[in-house]
Structure 1
Amino acid sequence: MPLSASSRGDRSASGFVSLLSDSGVPLEDIARLIGHSGTAVTEAVYRKQIRPVLLQGAAAMDTLFAR
């Protein structure tokens, strides 16, 4: 069954978010690049794709507070 234009667009956006996130692009920049005015929608819709960025942020905080 062929994908609808909407499904193809959603998959393209997910791939785009994944690539940016895996490359270490900050969440705020990813949100802006995909047309979101803030990060809440980006986090809700693309939570699986942005997980590496969130984990890196958590690790950085752990390092800062471990001192």
Structure 2
Amino acid sequence: MSKELVKKLLQQLDKNGDGKIDVNELKMFLDREKWPVSREKVLDFIKLYDRNQDEMLDLDELCTVLAE
């Protein structure tokens, strides 16, 4: 997936406009897509790719997620 497409995805998921996806934004997306996952599991997933340990996924971190 190109970085430009990942950027568009990030913009769609980023509800507060801070340029990152937090646990609540990712959980809302998963709930909307009928993928019931606990908030704790969503946070655990984010932490796997969260290089700067802010408990959010930025563009580069999201690119890493989608490249795997």
The two structures have a TM-score, normalised by structure 1, of 0.32
Structure with larger Rg = 1
The two structures have a TM-score, normalised by structure 2, of 0.31
The structure richer in strand per residue is 2
